[in-house]
Amino acid sequence: MLTLKDVDDWLCAMIVEFFNFQKQLSADADERKNRKQNMFAVLNAKLRFWASHDCDLYLPEEEHNSKTSDKGILKFTNKELNTMPEEIKKILKQNDHIRQKENGVYEIRLTFNGNKYYGSSKNFNEAKRQFIESIINTGTQTQKSLQHKKNSMLVKDYAFHYLETFKKPNVCEENYKNHISQIKNHIAPHFDGVLISQVTATMCQQLLNKVLQEGKGRLAEDLNSLLKWICEAALSDGILTVNPMANVKIPKHFRTEGKQIPVQIMAQYLAKSPENRSDYCIWLITYSGIRPCELKTVIFDNGFMTIKNAKQSRNKKPTFRRIPIHSALLPYIDEIKKSITMNTDVLAQAFKRRFPKEYHLYELRHTFTSRVQECGANKSWVDYATNHVGNQNTTDKVYTHWSDTFQVSEIEKLHF
């Protein structure tokens, strides 16, 4: 391996050569010109090699005897460079890594990312051909290695690979977390020890049948979609030859709509001051209509709250809405600020202990939306406050800007 001392010794030799050249004024002019060009070309190539630190060049001890071709500096053509990966092409453009030994043999040696590329022949074009062929062969072996690695992946591991690669960049954080939970709690246990290349339609159908028998139709639909996406990716990766989900069938699940919690039940709950984190979060959702998953994003400022809108793709610019803090919340605002980081699953369990079992945490949002309109609030403003963008037309989405005074008057209409 070339050391810093080798470089110093070589540079000193080049300087001596240069002064010797200056003394030979009687030599032929063309010869002086050629010797000067060759000397500085070799010097330039050596310095560029020395400055390169993203690859290693294996140099035998007789390196100092190497020389450039009588035809000048040896290079790859643009056509040859275009057959190589971009990273290697970039290196070779900076330093050709080509030398000709005293016996006339051309050598091209390069190590990059742990791979060794080599070409050697007395014919320069043959040496380059061998070098390019070694790049192609290494690339093919790498692809085979990666393919073998994927084929050997368990269903659980490939499912997480699919989420990280395909889903995470394109779905909101809430959906991404739901998918992780579905894999951990259902897909991974069912396919325990099974390779992704071994998945069959029967295995998939058995999982969905089990979930359906438990009365979880919505979960079965979600798992059905997730398994289809995972198997389609495995098919595209060449791991599966057919999609096992193509023959899997489940009955359509008719989802029940959320409902408003009766005013009497809400009034009874709100008649008592909040006592803990769960109560503070429930009060905040009740008087604002925000989604439980938006709690952690709330910023309180001068009588208003700014909420980062949920259900947005990661590759889109985040949007926010700003609504007033209802006067019923003001006495507890400091405690509410401390409580909004609460885990939503824990909050959902706490809600069940406080309300009749037929109601769910998310129905507080239904309750706000319904009750505030019953109290006379402007529907267009309610769509804005709850981020119901699907119900908004161009006038609402683009041209309507609510004043603070109007917003306060609308939210204060809400009472139980």
**What confidence score (pLDDT) does residue 47 get?**
58
For the domain 263-411, what is the CATH code?
1.10.443.10
Whether residue 241 is predicted with pLDDT greater than 70 in this model: the reply is: yes
**Predicted confidence band at 256 (pLDDT cuts at 50, 70, 90)?**
confident
Residue with tokens 């062929």: 133
Give the confidence band of 201 by pLDDT, cuts at 50, 70, 90. very high
**Residue 290's pLDDT is what?**
95
Bridge partner residues of 308 (DSSP): 320
pLDDT classification of 89: cutoffs 50, 70, 90: confident
Report pLDDT for 71.
41
Task: List, in sequence order, every beta strand (DSSP E) within 205-319.
Answer: 299-301, 304-308
pLDDT at 17 over 70: no
* Tokens 């008649």 sit on residue: 271
Nearest alpha-carbon partner for 171 in 229, 211, 216: 229
Q: How far is CA 244 from CA 182, 195, 233, in A?
A: 19, 14, 12
Q: Give the domain ranges of the chain.
A: 4-149, 155-247, 263-411
Is the pLDDT at 110 greater than 50? The verdict is: yes
Nearest to 303 by CA among 416, 415, 405: 405
Superfamily of domain 155-247: Tyrosine recombinase, N-terminal domain (1.10.150.130)
- The residues pairing with 165 across neighbouring beta strands, listed in sequence order, are none
Q: Give residue 29's pLDDT band: very low, low, confident or very high (50, 70, 90).
A: low
For residue 130, what pLDDT band results from cuts at 50, 70 and 90?
confident
35-59 pLDDT, tens digit per residue, is: 666 666 666 666 555 555 444 444 4
Question: Per-residue pLDDT tens for 331-365?
Answer: 999 999 999 999 998 999 999 999 999 999 999 99
* pLDDT single digits (tens) 308-321: 988 776 677 888 99
Interval 243-261 mean pLDDT: 87
**Residue whose token pair is 């001068």:** 302
The two tokens of residue 155 are 């269903």
111: tokens are 């190590």
Burial 105-115 (b: 16+ CB within 10 A, else e): ebbbbbebeee
Global confidence as pTM: 0.54
Structural tokens at position 42: 């070799």
Is the predicted pLDDT of residue 76 greater than 90, yes or no?
no
Average pLDDT, the chain: 82
Query: Average pLDDT for residues 9-30, to the nearest whole number?
Result: 58
Closest CA to 128 of 84, 72, 62, 87: 84
CA dist 177 and 316 (Å) reads 18
pLDDT average, residue stretch 159-179: 88
Distance CA 197, CA 150 (A): 9
Sign of the CA dihedral running 184, 185, 187, 190: positive
Q: List the one residue out of 358, 243, 347 whose CA is nearest residue 292.
A: 347
